[in-house]
Amino acid sequence: MSFQSKLTYLSATHNQSGSMKRYVSVLTLISGVLAASSSSAALLVFNDRSAWQTAAGGAGDLFENFDSKTIDEVYGMATPVTEGFITWSVDGGSDDSWRIDAPPATFGSIPSVNGSTYVTTLAFETNSGFGDTMATFSSIRALGFDYAGASYSSTNTNITLTTSNGDTVSVEALSSGNSFVGLLYTEGETFNSLRWDALSLDANGSGQIAMGVDNVEAFSVSAVPVPAAAWLFGTGLLGLISIAKRKKA
């Protein structure tokens, strides 16, 4: 039975119990942090770095903020660029818009997360001569990063993970500020690449997305995980303790 199914079952079978209703409310709040839109029950998706780190077992053992790079470096299909633990390339074409962009920003329309060096990630649909951003790395079980979307992006971007089961996760590309996405596999799966893919098309049958990406954090397969079920149980237990204390007060 899935986690969400268990919530539904508990709510239906204990709808007369006030304490059980509070318990279900706590678990529902926990599940709301998991904004998963993938095909795999073993993949959890977060929009908060702290919650993602807690579920994964602390801070990742791999991190890259690109701040050591002080000049721009263009990457493309034939000219991949490795920075830290990540290799950036383009699948299907390139121009000079794909780059690790150091201040002052060359492409201000693709926003920086915090004003420091960042990576411009783009994806085009049906535009001849252009392609999609690819990030590759050694096998990892979790990845998270900050991002800011360009105002001219299509409504949604699709981030496709190259994994054992080919999961796809949708992330909002339009952003009034900075956002975060954290991916975590909980049943031993690993992945070694991430692809940006524009799937929202305009009236002319084309679409594009652009995002500034920074503060990329990952957990290698050697980093000991905290099982997600244990994290969920522990967080729910803290909620129950809090409820009990309030009742005694």
Residue type, 57: G
Owning domain of residue 111: 43-220
The residue that leads in pLDDT, 36 or 156, is 156
- Tell me, yes or no, whether 178 lies in a domain: yes
> Distance between CA 145 and CA 55 in Å, rounded?
15
Q: Which range among 57-61, 116-120, 210-214, 234-238 shows the weakest confidence by mean pLDDT?
A: 234-238
The residue-averaged pLDDT of 15-43 equals 40
Please indicate, yes or no, if residue 243 is contained in any of the structural domains. Answer: no
pLDDT in tens, 148-161: 988 777 656 778 88
Here the tokens at position 36 are: 């998963």
State the CATH number of the domain containing residue 137.
Answer: 2.60.120
- Asked whether residue 187 is assigned to any structural domain, the reply reads yes
Number of H helices, E strands in the chain: 4, 13
CB atoms within 10 A of CB 123: 30
Residue 33 within a domain: no
The one-letter amino acid at 244: A
- Considering the domain boundaries, does residue 228 fall inside one? no
Q: In terms of Cα–Cα distance, which of 51, 54, 58, 53 is closest to 29?
A: 51
Residues of 189-212 as b/e, b for ≥16 C-beta within 10 angstroms? bebebbbbbbbbeeeeeebbbbbb
The one-letter code for the residue type at 7 is L
Q: Which residues does 91 contact at the CB level (< 8 Å), separation at least 6?
A: 77, 131, 132, 133, 134, 195
Q: Would 190 be classed as within a structural domain?
A: yes
Question: What domain count does the chain have?
Answer: 1
Dihedral Cα 10, 39, 37, 127, nearest 10 deg: -170
Is residue 6 one of the residues assigned to a domain? no
The two most distant CA atoms of the chain are separated, in Å, by: 67
Residue 67 has a CB neighbour count (10 Å cut-off) of: 14
- Contact criterion met (CB below 8 Å) for 52 and 74: no
Q: Tens of pLDDT along 165-215?
A: 788 888 877 656 789 999 999 988 999 999 988 765 555 556 788 899 999
Position 135 in a domain: yes
Could you tell me what percentage of the chain is helix, strand and coil, using 3-state DSSP and rounding each to the nearest 5? 20, 35, 40
Cis ω on the peptide bond leading into residue 111 (within 30° of 0)?
Answer: no
Separation of alpha carbons 248 and 44, rounded Å: 35
Which tens digit of pLDDT belongs to each residue from 60-113?
A: 999 999 999 999 999 988 899 999 999 999 988 777 889 999 999 998 889 999
